[in-house]
Amino acid sequence: MPLDVVLDPAVDPALLPAMIVPARTALLIIDVQEDFVSPAGAAGRWGVDLGVFAAPIGRIQALIAAARAAGVTAVFVRVVTRAETDCDALKNLHARKGRPPAAVAICRAGSTGADYYRISPEAGDWEIEKPLYSSFVGTDLDERLRAAGIGTLVVVGFTSDCCVDCTVRDAFHRNYDVFVVADACAAYEESLHIGALDALSKNCAMLTETAAVLAAWKEGLLF
């Protein structure tokens, strides 16, 4: 997909505060983990260029701090896998692609690969452990959000084309208003990042940027 594709326009920053009111909004921070984005993790050991993640991680850190200050619920989501819960579909997919069985063994429970990278939850934050891609499948995220009266999600993290994409689609189908912070997400290939944002913005989410969200949450304290 060409990188000069025209995405749906981002939300007007002037209108954003009323859309992501802190008391009714959660910041979903997806898969900022050692195995995915740290040079010491699995992707780093495989020789993947992880430079694309540095700037988005810095923006995620700023968004977490702003969320806490504004009273937005910060939800730290991460993959934690176990041999006994590895799904057959994933194992079959890897096998049919010629990958070794060990390919599914990333972000294993109890390993450093499952740890957060450059971020960490604090008292009052939520933590969600998921077995695969979507933050809603195999978790109690939906129940917790509804119990807290949260109907709007601001989504950041990795990767745009996989776990962010799956989470956003599932959130939309569960009747949440979803905003993807485009510059606080990334993928291993720029074309995948752009393609994911393009598809999501056309079908089930609004795009925004870090600066607009930071400003909105300062104003959103007035609502």
Question: Which of the residues are catalytic?
Answer: 31, 130, 163
Alpha carbons 31 and 107: distance in angstroms, whole number: 10
Strands 73-79 and 126-130: parallel
> What's the start-to-end Cα distance of the chain, in Å?
41
Q: Could you give phi then psi for residue 94, rounded to 5 degrees?
A: -65, -45
- H or E segment to which residue 77 belongs: strand 73-79
Copy the structure tokens of residue 122. 């604090």
Q: Which residue has the tokens 């990795």?
A: 158
Q: CB of 155 within 8 A of CB of 167?
A: yes
**Contact call for residues 79 and 130 (beta carbons, < 8 A):** yes
